[in-house]
Chains A and B, each alone.
Chain A
Amino acid sequence: MNKTRTAALASLALALPALAACGGDDDGAVTLRYAFWDDNQRPALEAMIAAFNEDHPDIEIELEQNPWDDYWPGLDSRFAAEDAPDVFWNHVSRFPTYADNGVLLPLTDYIEEDGLDPSVYPENLYDSWRFEDDQYGLPKDWDSIALVYRIDALEAAGIDPATVGDLEWNPVDGGTYVEFLQKLTIDANGNNALSPDFDPENVVQYGTAMASSTGQTDWWNYAVQNGCSLQTEPWGDYAIDAPECVEAIQFTADLYNKWGVAVPAESTNQPNGGVPGDYVVAGQAATALDGSWMLSFYRDGLEPGTWAVADNPSGPVGSGTVINGLSNAVYAGTDHPDEAWEFVKFLGSEEAQAIATGMGSVWPGVSSLNQDFADYWAGEGIDVTGFQTAAEGTTIGYPLSMNDAAFGTAALDEFNQVWLGQKDAQEAAEAVVELANAE
């Protein structure tokens, strides 16, 4: 049982800024702290840092890792303490608030002085790190969602993997997608969910696993595929109470409760449940609509040749999803802005990102390397074009808003109840919109 440590932290942050600053090292060497959250990407980061140190032996990089749910509160409190890491992973959902509050170092002048060519990045990806005429980051990567499935589960259910890319769903009868998931939902006696003898109390494998702190790897996919764009416009109000959104939220709830083809929300609800990949790797689920950043997780957890990637199912308006990207940002209060820029410039370079794509880590920010990434995975026997297809068509960008924190908290809180079958989708969506648009 702790002291009111939250309050203590906040106040220490205010009371002790003098203790926070750490000076330069004795021998002229500089240490930069670099914060990130994704454990899957650690090997690639370490390899990029090793390459950076070949040319910059006097800049030492210290990695600081925290899981997603702790990463942001930790970062915020260290902004308050004026002791934030010099360089850190930034996410578009947090970016507007950070830029607006001046905790990010504008990189515009550095980019101009060094004559950096922004056209090596996709234009929309580069521009997503622009705020009021200043650039605050170089694209580190991009990601999208596609259907990851276990080949062995499909074969056992008598489903031809070649048909997986053509699945369709609708909110009325579920379509071929729900039928596909029903065939993959198997009870202890080996009956699937379509069989009259199926025992829903003793399921050993579910058709799909859904879990997300944000919506990105659960209901957003069905929302976009049903024509819901989450906001009235980028930077606009949240609009998830629109009929097409509520219908998709209800469809997600139906996968849990009406058709019973998803790993129960009692297990998957965030922030304490597992991520979809946990259930697929463990054999508790046959498929997941999962992020490209999880590829190395599946590679490390499953035997080669037992899993694959396909296009997302199509909803009433298409097979779109939400794409997103990260950038490396520099803390405005860093003691070493020049060195931090050197490091960020390197991380944004083709040379550095080629290291990450060569390890199959993430889709690169530098467009010319996309093929390298696809080639790496082809070498592993995985066709990853599903993620590229998912980045096109009706796909939308990550919602942009100053109210992301309020939206995120309200959505998780309300929809967790909907997934559990304890709350009506319409009512929950209205509650979220009211809370998120209030500020």
Chain B
Amino acid sequence: MRTLPVAEPRSETETARRAAPRAGRRRNLRTAVEAYGMLAPSLIGFAVFLIAPIVVVVVLSFFDWNLLSDPEFIGLENYRELAGDERALRSIGNTFYYVLLNIPAQTVLALLLALALNAKIKARNTFRVLYVLPWMAMPVALGVIWRWVFDPAYGALNRFLDLFGIDGAAWLTSSAWAMPVIASVNVWQYTGYTMLFFLAGLQAIPAQLYEAADVDGASPVHRFFAITLPLLRPAMLFVLITSVIGSFQVFDTIHVMTAGGPAGSTATLNYQIYLESFTQRNAGYASMLAVILFAIIALITLTQAALFRKRTVYDFS
């Protein structure tokens, strides 16, 4: 068993170039034009709907804009104001709190589910579909349904708890409960989806490794930590980066279930951006918050990528 860097398979064009350099250059050019031509529609979309808005938001963060009349340049004023804005600073704290509630639970559950549904059990495919279903549903519709479930007086949860003589909490109107409740709804919604990536990762692990481990007499726990977990590294990297970014951007569940309340306890930075821009008409200030959110996500994503940089691949060829 050796650990090797990944080698890209030689591409067809590369082979062609070696065979016939002259004709190939022309063909290469044509291929390139064709390739870029086919990429163009998605690149245009990318530029117009992603790059341009990002640039505009960065520019707007130096302006005072109430959406109704012309923006006014105020330099770094928005950034200076952030230091004294308790609400915004608190929303940054709320965001980290939410991510910490969300990511570990979601990742561990998804991994356990993937392990369970990778085993040869009955009705395995049915279970796989069932666990992915929440992810396929509309978050807003789910939010509305969960709000009913968590309604303190008329909700299903508290009525159920009542059967056992338990007084349920005021889930969504208590500052202590609201965020964990929202995080749990999102964990429930996205665990199945996250599981899919672990499942794909598990199926890519060569069976010979487990056979060899069996011969060596390794325990199941030992096999998990020595083989499964290290080989899931690429899947883990992908899952962590995408779900961390996703949970920094949570919006719809919060909007529908608590609208940032009670007392701002579920207003994440992303929700604060919405509130500033569209209920307070401070679009410039909201743009500054968006830049801050961008910086936070970028920093965390880069850190994650750096931590996972070492790649492990087992080559049997």
State the A residues within 8 Å of B (CB).
1-8, 10-15, 72-73, 76-77, 79-80, 97-98, 101-103, 201, 263-267, 269, 271-272, 284, 405-406, 408-409, 413, 416-417, 420, 422-423
Within 8 A of A (CB), among B96-124: none
Q: Does residue B247 face the partner (Cβ distance < 8 Å to A)?
A: yes
* Nearest CB of B to A1, in Å: 4
Which single residue of chain B is at the shortest CB-CB distance from A408? B279
Cβ-closest 8 pairs across A and B: A73-B278, A11-B56, A101-B68, A11-B53, A7-B290, A80-B67, A266-B152, A1-B246
Which single residue of chain A is at the shortest CB-CB distance from B250? A1
Q: Which residues of A contact B163 (CB under 8 A)?
A: none
Other contacts beyond A1-B250, A267-B151, A416-B263: 16, CB < 8 A: A4-B290, A7-B290, A11-B57, A11-B287, A77-B67, A101-B66, A266-B151, A266-B152, A272-B172, A272-B257, A409-B280, A413-B264, A417-B262, A420-B170, A420-B262, A423-B263
* Nearest CB of B to A370, in Å: 35
> How far is it, in angstroms, between the C-alpha of A267 and the C-alpha of B53 when the chains are bound?
39
User: Are A5 and B251 in contact, with the CB atoms below 8 A?
Assistant: yes
User: Are B263 and A413 in contact, with the CB atoms below 8 A?
Assistant: yes
User: Are A77 and B56 in contact, with the CB atoms below 8 A?
Assistant: no
Which single residue of chain A is at the shortest CB-CB distance from B144? A272
User: Are A265 and B273 in contact, with the CB atoms below 8 A?
Assistant: no
User: Are B56 and A15 in contact, with the CB atoms below 8 A?
Assistant: yes
* Nearest CB of B to A136, in Å: 14
> How far is it, in angstroms, between the C-alpha of A10 and the C-alpha of B139 when the chains are bound?
22
Interface of chain A, helix or strand or loop or mixed?
A: helix
Which single residue of chain B is at the shortest CB-CB distance from A268? B153
Q: Which residues of A contact B175 (CB under 8 A)?
A: 422
> How far is it, in angstroms, between the C-alpha of A332 and the C-alpha of B69 when the chains are bound?
12
User: Are A7 and B273 in contact, with the CB atoms below 8 A?
Assistant: yes
Q: Given A6-B274, A76-B68, is A267 in contact with B56 using a C-beta cutoff of 8 Å? A: no
* Nearest CB of A to B117, in Å: 23
* Nearest CB of B to A18, in Å: 12
User: Are B56 and A14 in contact, with the CB atoms below 8 A?
Assistant: yes
Q: Given A1-B139, A10-B60, A10-B286, is A405 in contact with B261 using a C-beta cutoff of 8 Å? A: no
User: Are B280 and A405 in contact, with the CB atoms below 8 A?
Assistant: yes
| Most chain B CB atoms below 10 A, which of A79, A263, A266 | A266
User: Are B67 and A79 in contact, with the CB atoms below 8 A?
Assistant: yes
Q: Does residue B241 face the partner (Cβ distance < 8 Å to A)?
A: no
> How far is it, in angstroms, between the C-alpha of A15 and the C-alpha of B279 when the chains are bound?
21
Q: Given A1-B251, A5-B251, is A80 in contact with B68 using a C-beta cutoff of 8 Å? A: yes
> How far is it, in angstroms, between the C-alpha of A76 and the C-alpha of B270 when the chains are bound?
19
Partner of B173, one of A77, A102, A265: A265
Q: Does residue B154 face the partner (Cβ distance < 8 Å to A)?
A: yes
Which single residue of chain B is at the shortest CB-CB distance from A12? B53
Which single residue of chain B is at the shortest CB-CB distance from A1? B246
Q: Does residue B258 face the partner (Cβ distance < 8 Å to A)?
A: yes
> How far is it, in angstroms, between the C-alpha of A261 and the C-alpha of B274 when the chains are bound?
35
User: Are A413 and B261 in contact, with the CB atoms below 8 A?
Assistant: yes
Q: Given A15-B52, A263-B153, A269-B173, is A76 in contact with B281 using a C-beta cutoff of 8 Å? A: yes
Q: Does residue B94 face the partner (Cβ distance < 8 Å to A)?
A: no
Q: Which residues of B contact A408 (CB under 8 A)?
A: 279
Partner of A6, one of B54, B246, B273: B273
User: Are B153 and A97 in contact, with the CB atoms below 8 A?
Assistant: no
